[in-house]
Amino acid sequence: MQDAVRQARDEALARIGRAEMLDELEQARSACLGRSGALKALMQKLGTLPPEERRAAGQLLNEAKAAIEEALAARREAIGAGQVRATRATLDISVPGKCRPIGHEHPLRQAEAELREVFARLGFEAVEGPEVELAYYNFEALNIPAEHPSHDSFDTFYVEGDVLLRSHTSPVQIRVMEQRKPPIRVVVPGRVFRPDTPDATHSPVFHQIEGLVVGEDVTFADLKAVLAMAMRELFGPDTQTRFRPSFFPFTEPSAEVDVYCEIGGQRRWLELLGAGMVHPKVFEAVGYDPERYTGFAFGMGIDRVAMLKYGITDIRLLLENDVRFLDQF
């Protein structure tokens, strides 16, 4: 019996000495002094001993219990005071870290940035103009008279009177020419507005990039070359471009430009731009001599470019700000 008590005591003291944290100390305590602890079991056994043995064993048990409690108290204090240095790592490096989601540019901004870059390499400076515009810049100066049928295709939202939301980036052509003298070579990315009912290919808010070049010998050949080059830069070296006769009040001649590219494994022609030679009436509106200067202009949908490049089939997705969608780009 006495040996059993000594053994239990020594084990308990050793375990207390190894405890590096309070919860380990508590485990050590309950392993000997707890309800089903080693010392408790021995105490119960005490009653079954013959009286002559009981006395000595009882005394030993009391001493052991006192020694253990003393050791517990001392160790508890040492741990609490930080005097016990944990040899085991207290930092669990296997716990997953806190992941902070890192954002990125919206696919429209990515497409715009690429367009800016492509045209910068071709010598175009990027400028911007107001989204809230005067009717004069959106229509009249661009040779779109109020009563002309073409007015309808550039219809827009009116703020009040002749203040409106621009329905294309072309008004910035006028603003740039009013402020500068040729030669001019600018692109104008920006947001535009039209009262269209939203569907997969229409949105009342969308984005365009306008191009304007004015100089003394600017020809339609320059327009074709610049656009063909830009489209190859954007969509790959095999990209073909096609010019179809069209009409815009502010260009003459005018063209619709299609790009032959691959969409969903299929190659087909896609209408991507409006373009043409700057109309003499537009030069007159800004006080340029149409006999001296010629120029070309083009306008392209940035949303269209983003949809083509990233395989997006519904323009509305670009404006919903759903991160589950945006995360993919």
Residue closer to ligand PHE (CB basis): 16 or 297: 297
Residue closer to ligand PHE (CB basis): 124 or 248: 248
Bridge partner residues of 243 (DSSP):
257
Q: Supply the minimum distance, in Å, between the C-beta of residue 132 and ligand PHE.
A: 17
Q: Supply the minimum distance, in Å, between the C-beta of residue 103 and ligand PHE.
A: 31
Residue closer to ligand PHE (CB basis): 182 or 301: 301
Report the residue closest to ligand PHE, judged by CB. 299
- Using DSSP bridges, classify how beta strands 184-193 and 125-126 pair: parallel, antiparallel or unpaired: parallel
Residues that bind ligand PHE (CB under 6 A): 168, 170, 210, 248, 251, 274-276, 297-299
Q: Do 166 and 138 touch, CB atoms closer than 8 A?
A: yes
Q: Supply the minimum distance, in Å, between the C-beta of residue 179 and ligand PHE.
A: 19
Q: Supply the minimum distance, in Å, between the C-beta of residue 276 and ligand PHE.
A: 5
Bridge partner residues of 283 (DSSP):
none
Question: Which three-class secondary structure string do you get for 131-162?
Answer: CEEEHHHHCHHHCCCCCCHHHHHHCCCEEECC
Burial of 257 per CB tally in 10 Å (0-12, 13-18, 19+): buried
Report the phi/psi class of residue 72: left, alpha or beta, with left for phi > 0 and alpha for psi in -120 to 50.
Answer: alpha
Q: Supply the minimum distance, in Å, between the C-beta of residue 300 and ligand PHE.
A: 8
Q: At what angle do helices 51-80 and 38-46 cross, to 10 degrees?
A: 160
Residue closer to ligand PHE (CB basis): 112 or 210: 210
Phi, psi of 232 (to 5 degrees): -65, -40
Residue closer to ligand PHE (CB basis): 84 or 226: 226
Residue closer to ligand PHE (CB basis): 37 or 301: 301
Provide the 3-class DSSP secondary structure of residue 114: helix
Q: Supply the minimum distance, in Å, between the C-beta of residue 169 and ligand PHE.
A: 7
